[in-house]
Chains A and B, each alone.
Chain A
């Protein structure tokens, strides 16, 4: 038998290659391609899962924009949450990482503490913050009150409910802090020293060395977190059920309600596709504009 460099001949390599990655192929078919196809097909029907599905064409896609006021509201709420959360998360994480990267003792302890909130399951942090945000008996209003500041109606008011969820979201940003920190620690020392030799300040180091070298990592985490934020579900589901007056009704919560509460499978799937396109669009936009502000080694 003719042996290739790796021991087996080409045929056997191909055979074993496909055998070994067969779970991936099957998985992509069973849990990605097929569901998405099914979803698209269902989105063209009127179906409550009990009676037979009726084909209605693209009617669902039109009616969610024209007949369902809550749909547009849920988009607005979700975008508001996302565009409030993601920049705050990135800035907080960057600040945390810069602090941890400085020459201080006890860094490991701080790093551990910063990471802890990321461990907490969303459902637990929802329950926990529900209690912290409580109007009368919550800790946060207790603090404000003892400093003589008026109590804020956190999740009970239309204006504050999304900012409240954002605060929660920024609280568990520890994993990103650690990722940014590892990036900062990977920056070669001679680059930093070069700034020192040129008489540069910390700002110069940050602006011209750290930020450019960190930019691909920031981009990646920004997109991952944006996709997460657009999927906001557990917090409003547990804490507010979309209220007050639907001001925390998120996109996914609205989809969930349509599918499993109102029995409108077709409508729900049409919404999921709109959200999918929206997510892809925003990701693409960030990618396209990212060439302006990200730096890859080897690029000019």
Chain B
């Protein structure tokens, strides 16, 4: 009696989990399916659920209809620059905030955390005005430079991490005559590698997915990143749906690959950043 009740409970849990999993996957499968269809086939009734004639041509047309390869290149350039900036600046800042005693550091830490609560759009228009004033609209600089000034989310995460490294390491290095930059580079950085990996991965995600910043700052199609590049396929007159879906698939492909090759960092990043409120 007890046993059968337990079995039926397990079945219900599996059913619910499977329903959830299917709802998560179907949109993505549908995206992939549509990316391999001609637009005519997509607009046929009754719906063709599993296309017979796969149209790989869509993936070629993505690159011929618009400079999609250029979008890719631009995105990669911006992403790499952002990762470099995030790694250097956040480690420096987190080290200063956690491992050096000086007046004002607590205040700066709180100010930094405070920016987490700031809605991004409040700064958006003024940031545009600011970069316009610097004469840097339609360049990559507004997309890249801010990463070199630290990010509250990463600073908070790295501070949590650095507090777990014993201070003896720093002290021993001082005895050997090292200075702070040397300690950060030679001792802290190697120890903080897992946390740095999390920073790199999340910065990759933020930048790869960012829509608003490139939308505001980039005007020429030649300079577009993927996120705003996709938009160029959508038109009121004629939208090549199959090609659009192929472009969308190509945009998420690197994210999926990154996720499956570095899953543990995703999980630890989420739990580090999301739990300790």
Binds A, one of B52-60, B64-72, B97-105, B190-198: B97-105
Inter-chain contact B103/A182, CB cutoff 8 Å? no
- Report chain A residues within 8 Å CB of B259: 115-116, 119
Q: Does A245 contact B (CB under 8 A)?
A: no
Inter-chain contact A104/B13, CB cutoff 8 Å? yes
Contact with B along A120-149 (1 / 0, CB 8 A): 111111011101100011010010000000
Inter-chain contact A17/B96, CB cutoff 8 Å? yes
- By secondary structure, the B interface counts as helix
Inter-chain contact B24/A116, CB cutoff 8 Å? yes
Contact with B along A10-51 (1 / 0, CB 8 A): 100110111111011111101110111011001000000100
Inter-chain contact B234/A238, CB cutoff 8 Å? yes
For window 43-101 of B, CB contacts with A under 8 Å fall at 43, 45, 47, 89, 92-93, 95-97, 99-101
Q: Separation in Å of the B155 CB from the closest CB of chain A? A: 7
Given the known inter-chain contacts A21-B97, A39-B126, please indicate yes or no for A27 contacting B146, CB distance below 8 A.
yes
Inter-chain contact B252/A131, CB cutoff 8 Å? no
Q: Does A216 contact B (CB under 8 A)?
A: yes
Q: Does A195 contact B (CB under 8 A)?
A: no
Inter-chain contact B27/A129, CB cutoff 8 Å? yes
Contact with A along B219-232 (1 / 0, CB 8 A): 00000000110110
Q: Complex: how many Å from CA A67 to CA B7?
A: 63
Q: Complex: how many Å from CA A239 to CA B21?
A: 25
Q: Does B129 contact A (CB under 8 A)?
A: yes
- Report chain B residues within 8 Å CB of A283: 117
Inter-chain contact A27/B149, CB cutoff 8 Å? yes
Closest Cβ neighbor of A185 among chain B residues? B271
Given the known inter-chain contacts A119-B205, A120-B255, please indicate yes or no for A13 contacting B102, CB distance below 8 A.
yes
Contact with B along A222-256 (1 / 0, CB 8 A): 01000100110110001000000000000010010
Q: Separation in Å of the B164 CB from the closest CB of chain A? A: 16
Q: Does A8 contact B (CB under 8 A)?
A: yes
Q: Does B144 contact A (CB under 8 A)?
A: no
Inter-chain contact A114/B270, CB cutoff 8 Å? no
Q: Complex: how many Å from CA A280 to CA B31?
A: 38
- Report chain A residues within 8 Å CB of B149: 23-24, 26-27, 30-31
For window 41-93 of A, CB contacts with B under 8 Å fall at 42, 49
Closest Cβ neighbor of B175 among chain A residues? A7
Q: Does B16 contact A (CB under 8 A)?
A: yes
Inter-chain contact A179/B252, CB cutoff 8 Å? no
Q: Does A157 contact B (CB under 8 A)?
A: no
Q: Does B200 contact A (CB under 8 A)?
A: no
- Report chain B residues within 8 Å CB of A16: 96, 100, 179-180
Q: Separation in Å of the A31 CB from the closest CB of chain B? A: 5
Inter-chain contact B121/A252, CB cutoff 8 Å? yes
Q: Separation in Å of the B43 CB from the closest CB of chain A? A: 6
Q: Complex: how many Å from CA A268 to CA B23?
A: 38
- Report chain A residues within 8 Å CB of B127: 31, 35
For window 249-300 of A, CB contacts with B under 8 Å fall at 252, 255, 259-260, 265, 268-269, 272-273, 275-276, 279-280, 283
Q: Does B161 contact A (CB under 8 A)?
A: no
Q: Complex: how many Å from CA A19 to CA B93?
A: 9
Q: Complex: how many Å from CA A128 to CA B170?
A: 51
Q: Which of A14, A23, A119 contacts B256 (CB 8 A)?
A: A119
Could you tell me which A residues sit within 8 Å of B by CB distance? 4-8, 10, 13-14, 16-21, 23-28, 30-32, 34-36, 38-39, 42, 49, 95-96, 99-100, 102, 104, 110, 112-117, 119-125, 127-129, 131-132, 136-137, 139, 142, 171, 174-176, 178-179, 182-183, 186, 216-217, 219-221, 223, 227, 230-231, 233-234, 238, 252, 255, 259-260, 265, 268-269, 272-273, 275-276, 279-280, 283
Q: A42-B129, A265-B129 are in contact. List 4 more A-B contacts (CB 8 A).
A: A31-B146, A99-B20, A231-B121, A276-B118
Instruction: Please list 6 pairs of residues, one from A and one from B, whose beta carbons are closer than 8 Å in the complex, sorted by A's number.
Output: A27-B146, A27-B149, A28-B115, A99-B13, A114-B24, A269-B125
Chain A to chain B: the 5 pairs with minimum beta-carbon distance, closest first: A27-B149, A7-B174, A20-B96, A220-B277, A35-B126
